[in-house]
Amino acid sequence: DQQVKQNSPSLSVQEGRISILNCDYTNSMFDYFLWYKKYPAEGPTFLISISSIKDKNEDGRFTVFLNKSAKHLSLHIVPSQPGDSAVYFCAASEDTGNQFYFGTGTSLTVIP
Amino acid sequence: NAGVTQTPKFRVLKTGQSMTLLCAQDMNHEYMYWYRQDPGMGLRLIHYSVGEGTTAKGEVPDGYNVSRLKKQNFLLGLESAAPSQTSVYFCASSLFYLTGELFFGEGSRLTVL
């Protein structure tokens, strides 16, 4: 059963507007979360992470929010740029586990 | 800086054939991983290694074997390929275990006919 879910397979946003990508998880023991970005024919690249002791982490145009009670995290991209068009994966781990669990990805298209 | 390099990038196999995917990293990372990506399934962990000479099973290990004879290399083997193993395979490495980012290779697309 999928422990990390990205329920929106795709998202389209106008350039300059905010992109919000969502991720839900079922395992309350998860304590570390990451977002990866993937272009076609390339491997995923790390974007931003957050530990469960925080509820927000910001890096330039990218902000990740964590709502532990709702088991939900989101990635905000402001302002969105055409180069942000890619597939975004969220991933989660617990320190007593043995792997990262990945969501199925959301394909973001930023329209110029 | 090459990072994580996978070879080959593309391969077509017939059912029952064997092959090995090679992953090499030049970042001196202890931890290495093999994932597969299938449509609608996200990335799933096949096997991983927490150091030279060690390997462990991930979420979907059946039909695969791995070896980590050298710290910089992590090999994924298919002894008898099946159509269900048609996928894109990604190798990754990390400096920290479960609390740091993974560095991925570009992927290897395998088709089993």
Contacts of B92 (CB under 8 A, 6+ apart): A43, B4, B32, B33, B34, B35, B102, B103, B104, B105
Q: Are the Cβ atoms of B59 and A43 closer than 8 angstroms? A: no
Token code pair at residue A95: 């320190």
pLDDT of residue A17 exceeding 80? yes
Token code pair at residue A81: 């740029």
Per-residue pLDDT tens digits for A82-104: 999 999 999 999 887 778 999 99
* Token pair 């990372």: residue: B29
Comparing CB atoms, the residue among A41, A46, A98 nearest residue B102 is A46
Q: Please list the residues that pair with A11 across neighbouring strands.
A: A108
Closest CA relative to residue A79, chosen from A47, A112, A50: A112
pLDDT of residue B2 exceeding 80? no
Residues of A with CB under 8 A from a CB of B: 2, 4, 6, 32, 34, 36, 41-46, 49, 51, 89, 91, 93-95, 97-100, 102-105
Q: What do you get for the CA distance between the two ends of chain A, in Å?
A: 38
Q: Does B27 touch chain A (CB under 8 A)?
A: no
Contacts of B102 in chain A (CB under 8 A): 34, 36, 44, 46, 100
Per-residue pLDDT tens digits for A18-62: 999 999 999 999 999 999 999 998 999 999 999 999 999 999 999
